[in-house]
Amino acid sequence: MPNDRLAASTLAARHGLRRDPEETPYYAYREHGRWVQGWYEDLTSLTRKLGPERVRGYAGLAFFPLGYDAGAIVEPLLRWWRAAPT
């Protein structure tokens, strides 16, 4: 799989990381007279979105395609999910 998250992170660092009200990271810039945007998930956005389900005691959730980041999010997200909710 391509490392799309790394590409998105690089573009966000280059053009400015923005976040929507749900903390979803994205970047936006103009290139050759047109707007380019890229949206992705990171640990901050996923934990914010999944927090209510975690507190309610869900056994787990399924994602696709999680893993485009060479495992950089999967393990931290699993540790967060398995930890006792605060």
pLDDT one digit per residue (tens) for the chain, 86 residues: 455 556 888 899 999 999 999 899 999 999 999 999 998 888 999 999 999 989 998 887 777 666 666 777 888 888 999 887 76
| Location of structure tokens 């967060």 | 80
Residues in the chain, total:
86
Q: Whole-angstrom Cα distance, residue 14 to residue 32?
A: 17
Predicted pLDDT of residue 85 = 76
> The tokens of 44 are what?
């901050």
Predicted pLDDT of residue 1 = 42
Q: Is the peptide bond before 65 cis (omega within 30 degrees of 0)?
A: yes
